[in-house]
Amino acid sequence: MSTQQTTADPSSVLRIEGELTIFRAAELKDVLSAEPRLQEIDLSGVTEMDSAGLQLLMAAKQAATAEQRTLRLVAHSAAVIEVF
């Protein structure tokens, strides 16, 4: 899995590419924790997703809500849509 981060003040976009599974959850958790201004996660490059990936996205969304900021999950790939 790879991630690309685009920062355009005051927003930040994270694009996830590859697997969003239990095998990559710790890596992505670190990336999500490192960017407090994250406003959008682009899921168009996700090739596989499991319940661990879903839990990670839900935790990121809940953390954003608790901090009174908006976090959008956008451009869902077929793998993401299959889980939902």
Could you tell me the pTM of the whole model?
A: 0.81
| CATH assignment, 2-83 | 3.30.750.24
Could you write out the DSSP letters of every residue in 39-62?
EEEEEEEEEEE-HHHHHHHHHHHH
Q: What angle do CA 34, 32, 13 make, to 5 degrees?
A: 100
> Residue type for 83, please?
V
User: In this predicted model, what pLDDT tens digit does every residue of 23-34 receive, in sequence order?
Assistant: 999 898 888 877
Residue 24 CB-density burial (10 A; 0-12 exposed, 13-18 middle, 19+ buried)? buried
- Indicate if the pLDDT at residue 1 is higher than 60: no
Residue 17, strand partner residues: 2, 45
